[in-house]
């Protein structure tokens, strides 16, 4: 036992940076996952949400959006950063009649807020994208919705003037060297990690081919730049040491410039500081250990900003670095060098990639070898052209240079190479794709597999095997299982027990019935005019919660906010059957005590203009718990239902899905009294333009003692059916309420 403890102490002190980085990341993840992070945030002026007021601060970033701008502002009186959404025209006018430009970075301003500052919204559906943690990872604590800007001071600190100039060189380079929008967008992605201008279909092709990482500046790009630096430095010769030193200083300054041009994403930060540590190690004649260097940077970044660990860019960056430092050395000499990096990383990151992206392309290893090779040519050429254009920009005489067509000629090599990359990506997507969509494995499985791979490929495992120290191997395996177990606990959700889940789809309805034997049914799917709810909300929700296909999708009627989401989902996700019709008496039976009964309409009314009146009404029977799904039925429809089922208990329910998102034209008092629900669920979008839910409806429901749950306030609402009771759980407000069967 003493020998075993000694071995573990030796392991820790040899890899103390790595162990400390893993432990700290694990601790931060565990604490923030199990405890509501909102408890640690100060209230805004003593409240969870401030009232509308004028805010003063300094502009840190400006991002044009479709209907205005998002401004990142350092709030003076709070000392924290806020993301302010300014709606309006594409160019938001300030008080002096000018428009927001790069030159406004760093200026002090005041902005009138419509509703004041508030904390960003967490994930509204289980295991879905968490906007709150995403913004926290960027150091942004508040969000706000604003109006007109007024400048307090035009003076800007030197650092913002420098940043503005660097970003202007980037824009000048892109505008001057590229005549085609596609080439410009690709260059912006590959060289600067900004994918905003890349067409959604194009980005989807890269993602499905497993090569989207080339569109986010990462260790690959910085590694290519560093190798180019090393190649040039090696040619200088030993006798010209001062030239080598000067070249190194210039390279260090260039990396600072390049990091600013890429806006210092986590992957760029990690990669650049790894290079700095390598240069420092060479200067001090100290051995450079990549695993220790990566771990030190990991520690510093997590200590500075704990919520970095929720950034996919941060996770991928450091997981890739750990995989490269541990796995790749063991593969060299055993498989061809060209396959070491793509095959090793693919093998190591596979569980993570499936969990995060629900997609795996078997041919991505081959695709990556070809595309990464082309990118290794594209990046250094692109950087050289970028530097040349920067020099020309500040050297003057641009009119003469433009007239000669010199700058456009400079962009020709990477423009042509970019077109080749695009064509190859499209070709692979059509002819070589072997992609499959998969449900997300549990976090326990992902962590267990990745830690096992790291351990098996590590030096420690080899040493323990050579010494035949089975106790040591066993103890490490126990530690790995315990660590994975803790991650698994943090990944658990009360919605895992729910058999009915009212999904938050914004302004729309969607009910997921997750019943025994992997039988899954969706009643309505939401839908918006300019947003694919099916692909971007329903599909990720279903896949990340273990639902690989739907047995049935049912619609109440054909209005966009009920049907469009199912239509979109059907294009990208397997649905065995879609049911768009049904009349009184129809039954969809899954088992003896779980079935759906159609209560309305009495007959099909295909030619009717009043979709809401004839909206299908379902009673969901779930082991004795009755849920009444009313679609958008109107008050007239409710009264017709009352008349049709007079002197029966057919309309009585435990849970009522309130009709038409709480509109004042539905939910009449007679209908609420006849149905006698204990719980009412209102599916409604935040800040919707319809005034839903109506205060009148809320008052009527409250007067009858019915407990209300709203997807705009509570997020997804889940129903857990017990033997003598049922529970209601909510995603945002973390409620878990118990109700006796009525």
Q: What is the pLDDT of residues 652-665, one digit of tens each?
A: 999 999 999 999 99
Q: Left if phi > 0, otherwise alpha if psi is -120 to 50, otherwise beta: which for 660?
A: left
Distance of alpha carbon 18 from alpha carbon 13, whole angstroms: 10
The per-residue pLDDT of the chain, averaged, comes to 85
Per-residue pLDDT, averaged over 224-243, amounts to 83
The predicted pLDDT at position 396 comes to 67
The predicted pLDDT at position 39 comes to 41
Per-residue pLDDT, averaged over 32-46, amounts to 52
**For residues 15 and 291, is the Cβ–Cβ distance under 8 A?**
yes
Distance of alpha carbon 412 from alpha carbon 183, whole angstroms: 10
Distance of alpha carbon 486 from alpha carbon 478, whole angstroms: 12
Distance of alpha carbon 240 from alpha carbon 693, whole angstroms: 76
The predicted pLDDT at position 8 comes to 53
Distance of alpha carbon 394 from alpha carbon 387, whole angstroms: 11
C-alpha angle with apex 730: 729 to 732, nearest 5 degrees?
Answer: 155
The predicted pLDDT at position 141 comes to 87
Least confident of 62-66, 185-189, 251-255, 307-311: 62-66
What percentage of the chain carries pLDDT values higher than 90? 41
Distance of alpha carbon 601 from alpha carbon 672, whole angstroms: 19
The pTM for the full model equals: 0.88
Residue from 386, 394, 481, 403 nearest 174 by CA:
386
Residues 577-626: tens digit of each pLDDT: 999 888 888 999 888 889 999 999 888 765 667 788 889 999 999 999 99
The answer, yes or no, to whether the previous bond of 693 is cis (omega within 30 of 0) is yes
Rounded to the nearest angstrom, the gap between the alpha carbon of residue 192 and the centroid of all alpha carbons in its chain is 20
Name beta bridge partners: 82.
73, 142
Pairing state of beta strands 617-622 and 679-682?
unpaired
Please check the confidence at residue 302 and state whether its pLDDT lies above 60.
Answer: yes
pLDDT band at 642 (very low <50, low <70, confident <90, very high): very high
pLDDT band at 439 (very low <50, low <70, confident <90, very high): very high
Distance of alpha carbon 332 from alpha carbon 327, whole angstroms: 9
Centre a 10 Å sphere on the Cβ of residue 355 and count the other Cβ atoms it contains: 21
Please check the confidence at residue 403 and state whether its pLDDT lies above 70.
Answer: no
Please check the confidence at residue 350 and state whether its pLDDT lies above 80.
Answer: yes
Order of strands across the sheet that contains 717-721: 578-579, 552-554, 519-523, 511-515, 500-502, 717-721, 725-730, 736-740
Distance of alpha carbon 501 from alpha carbon 329, whole angstroms: 47
Residues 150-181: tens digit of each pLDDT: 888 888 999 999 999 999 889 888 888 888 88
Residues 6+ apart with CB under 8 A from 441: 351, 354, 355
Please check the confidence at residue 121 and state whether its pLDDT lies above 90.
Answer: no
Residues 484-515: tens digit of each pLDDT: 998 888 888 999 999 999 999 999 999 999 98
Distance of alpha carbon 717 from alpha carbon 733, whole angstroms: 10
Please check the confidence at residue 423 and state whether its pLDDT lies above 70.
Answer: yes
Residue whose structure tokens are 């209230």: 43
**For residues 170 and 176, is the Cβ–Cβ distance under 8 A?**
no
Burial readout 119-137 (b: 16 or more C-beta within 10 A, e: otherwise): bbbbbbbbbbbbebbbbbb
Name beta bridge partners: 58.
74, 108
pLDDT band at 431 (very low <50, low <70, confident <90, very high): low
pLDDT band at 93 (very low <50, low <70, confident <90, very high): low
Rounded to the nearest angstrom, the gap between the alpha carbon of residue 495 and the centroid of all alpha carbons in its chain is 20
Burial class (CB within 10 angstroms; exposed 0-12, middle 13-18, buried 19+) of 206:
buried
**For residues 553 and 578, is the Cβ–Cβ distance under 8 A?**
yes
Burial readout 391-414 (b: 16 or more C-beta within 10 A, e: otherwise): ebbeeeebeebeeeeebeebbebb
């Amino acid at each position: 036992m003493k020998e075993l403890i000694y071995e573990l102490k030796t392991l820790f002190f040899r890899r103390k940076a790595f162990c400390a980085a893993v432990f700290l990341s694990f601790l931060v993840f565990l604490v923030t996952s199990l405890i509501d992070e909102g408890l640690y945030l100060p209230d805004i002026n003593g409240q969870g949400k401030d009232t509308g007021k004028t805010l003063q601060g300094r502009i840190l970033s400006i991002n044009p959006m479709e209907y205005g701008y998002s401004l990142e502002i350092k709030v003076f009186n709070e000392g924290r950063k806020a993301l302010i959404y300014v709606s309006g025209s594409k160019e938001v006018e300030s008080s002096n009649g000018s428009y927001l430009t790069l030159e406004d970075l760093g200026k002090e301003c005041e902005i009138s807020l419509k509703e004041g500052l508030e904390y960003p919204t967490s994930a509204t559906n289980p295991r879905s994208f968490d906007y709150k943690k995403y913004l926290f990872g960027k150091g942004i604590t508040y969000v706000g919705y604003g109006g007109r800007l007024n400048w307090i001071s035009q003076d800007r600190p030197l650092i913002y003037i420098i940043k503005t100039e660097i970003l202007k060189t980037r824009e000048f380079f892109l505008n001057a060297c590229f005549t085609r929008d596609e080439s410009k967008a690709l260059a912006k992605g590959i060289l600067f990690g900004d994918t905003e201008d890349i067409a959604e279909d194009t980005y989807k092709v890269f993602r499905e081919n497993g090569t989207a990482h080339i569109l986010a500046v990462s260790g690959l790009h910085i590694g290519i730049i560093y190798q180019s630096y090393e190649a040039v430095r090696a040619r200088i010769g030993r006798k010209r040491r001062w030239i080598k030193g000067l070249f190194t200083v210039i390279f260090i300054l260039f990396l600072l410039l390049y990091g600013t041009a890429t806006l210092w994403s986590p992957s760029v930060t990690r990669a650049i500081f790894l290079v700095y540590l390598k240069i420092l190690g060479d200067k001090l004649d100290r051995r450079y250990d990549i695993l220790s260097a990566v771990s030190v940077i990991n520690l510093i970044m997590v200590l500075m900003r704990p919520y970095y660990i929720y950034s996919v860019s941060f996770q991928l960056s450091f997981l890739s670095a750990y995989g490269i430092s541990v796995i790749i050395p063991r593969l060299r000499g055993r498989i061809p060098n060209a396959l070491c990096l793509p095959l090793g990383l693919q093998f190591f990151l596979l569980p993570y990639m499936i969990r995060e992206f629900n997609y795996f392309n078997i041919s991505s290893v081959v695709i990556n070898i070809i595309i990464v090779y082309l990118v290794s040519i594209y990046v250094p050429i692109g950087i050289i052209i970028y530097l040349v254009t920067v020099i020309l920009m500040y050297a003057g005489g641009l009119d003469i240079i433009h007239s000669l067509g010199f700058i456009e000629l400079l962009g020709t090599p990477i423009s042509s190479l970019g077109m080749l990359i695009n064509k190859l990506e499209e070709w692979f997507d059509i002819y070589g794709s072997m992609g499959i969509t998969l449900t997300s494995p549990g976090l326990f499985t992902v962590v267990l597999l990745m830690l096992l791979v790291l351990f098996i490929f590590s030096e420690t495992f080899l040493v323990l095997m050579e010494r035949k120290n089975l106790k040591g191997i066993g103890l490490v395996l126990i530690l790995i299982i315990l660590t994975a177990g803790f991650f698994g606990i943090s990944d658990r959700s009360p919605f895992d027990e729910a058999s009915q889940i009212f999904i938050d789809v914004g302004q729309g309805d969607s009910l997921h019935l997750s019943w025994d034997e992997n039988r899954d049914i969706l009643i309505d799917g939401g839908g918006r005019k300019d947003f694919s709810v099916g692909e971007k909300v329903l599909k990720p929700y279903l896949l990340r919660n273990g639902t690989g296909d739907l047995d049935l999708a049912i619609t109440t009627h054909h209005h966009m906010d009920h049907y469009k989401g199912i239509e979109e989902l059907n294009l990208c996700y397997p649905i065995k059957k879609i049911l768009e019709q049904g009349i009184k008496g129809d039954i969809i039976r899954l088992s003896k005590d779980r079935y759906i009964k159609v209560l309305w309409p009495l007959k099909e009314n295909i030619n009717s203009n009043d979709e809401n009146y004839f909206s299908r009404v379902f009673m969901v029977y779930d082991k004795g718990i009755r849920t009444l799904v009313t679609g958008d039925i109107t008050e007239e429809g409710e009264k017709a239902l009352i008349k049709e089922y007079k002197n029966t208990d057919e309309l009585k329910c435990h849970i009522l899905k309130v009709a038409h998102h709480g509109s004042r034209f539905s939910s009449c008092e007679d209908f609420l009294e006849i149905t006698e629900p204990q719980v009412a669920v209102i599916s409604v979008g935040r800040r919707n333009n319809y005034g839903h839910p109506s205060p009148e409806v809320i008052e009527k429901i409250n007067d009858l003692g019915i407990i209300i749950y709203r997807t705009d306030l509570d997020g997804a609402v889940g129903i857990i059916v017990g033997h003598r009771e049922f529970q209601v759980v909510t995603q945002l407000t973390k409620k878990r309420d118990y109700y006796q069967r009525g």
